[in-house]
Structure 1
Amino acid sequence: MSATSDRPAARVVCLDRDGRVLLMHWYDHVSGLDVWEPPGGGIDPGETPLEAARRELTEETGLPGSAVLDRYVEVERDFTWLGVRYVKTECFFLARFGTSRPAIDPGELTEEEQRAYLGYDWAEELPEPIEPPELAKVVERLITDRR
């Protein structure tokens, strides 16, 4: 039986000039599965979701955190990673880049992330398996919502 965590987290949907979505590719050594998902991660104590999204974007991709807009949609998540089940609501923020496929430098990954990291892609179409499974709807909401 796996542990359960509700640690708050924030993610960033990055769109390049041509509307491609930046996805990070990870390998779960416990389950043997690999998954694609937008960059992001846990919110540290005292951080706002926006601050965490900006920090995580820079740590995982080398892209400027300042590109993350103060606009998000809440996404219900229920997934298992490295033997821990995560059940929570995450904020997914939007970042837009004016160039095609900006260069990525995942130079600040944690040791755990380095072991799991398989690469990245500026995807024209969302690959499988994708987390969250409804990512296409999340992207659409971020693009059309004007909060």
Structure 2
Amino acid sequence: MSKADLPYRPCAGVMLVNRDGRVFVGQRVDSTLEAWQMPQGGIDPGEDALTAAIRELGEETGVAPDKVTLVAEAPDEFYYDLPDDLFGKVWQGKWRGQRQRWFLFRFLGEDSDVDIDTAHKEFRAWRWADPSDLPTMIVPFKKALYEAVLTAFQPHLAASETR
């Protein structure tokens, strides 16, 4: 089956911004790359994107729902295709890439409320990053996606800097 014949995996992504206007990023446990990414994951059958985003945030960062507040939802879905070297190797070869709904959350907690050593451990390290650095930190095939997410949330990020 060719890549063009496969659907996109439905997914939710989270841009988690702290009081200083910096964004949570983690390094995946299943990659040796120095790349960093924001929390994201699949939307389960029957689950809406916001519920999936909150669930994935908890599964990947240990951050409880009462430690965040929703600021914005990106107006459109974003898509990316897997590069040829990963196509057929991830997600049991069922998807050509992902279609993602993105949400911007303000982090209300403290760094001690973040615990990446979760039951669904996905990150080996985490830190807060400047939003403008995100496209250079992600794996190259997701760079355009991260630029689109940044563009969608830019009005809210600028407002958060002045608080």
Change (3 A) 1:6 1:59: same
Unpaired segments ≥5 residues, structure 1: none
Q: So what's the TM-score if we normalise by structure 1? A: 0.73
The size of the alignment, in residue pairs, is 139
8 Å contact kept, 2:37–2:138 = yes
Change (3 A) 1:71 1:56: same
Q: Whole-Å Cα distance in 2 between the matches of residues 102 and 96 of structure 1?
A: 16
Superposed counterparts of 1:130-145, under 5 Å: 130-131=138-139, 132-134=142-144, 135-144=146-155
Aligned counterpart, 1:17 = 19
- Alignment-mate amino acid for residue 47 of structure 2: E
8 Å contact kept, 2:9–2:42 = yes
Aligned counterpart, 2:56 = 56
Q: CA RMSD in A?
A: 3.2
Q: Whole-Å Cα distance in 2 between the matches of residues 120 and 52 of structure 1?
A: 21
Of 121, 134, 138, which aligns to 1:126?
134
Query: Percent same amino acid at aligned positions?
Result: 34
String of CA shifts for 1:18-52, please: whole Å, max 9, x gaps: 111111211545xx545321102011111000000
Aligned counterpart, 2:116 = 106
8 Å contact kept, 1:13–1:38 = yes
Answer 1 or 2: which has greater strand percent: 1
8 Å contact kept, 1:40–1:57 = yes
- Alignment-mate amino acid for residue 55 of structure 2: R
Q: Secondary structure at the match of 1:37?
A: coil
Superposed counterparts of 1:63-102, under 5 Å: 63-66=63-66, 67=68, 69=70, 71-73=72-74, 74-79=77-82, 83-84=89-90, 86-98=96-108, 101=111
Unpaired segments ≥5 residues, structure 2: 157-163
Q: So what's the TM-score if we normalise by structure 2? A: 0.67
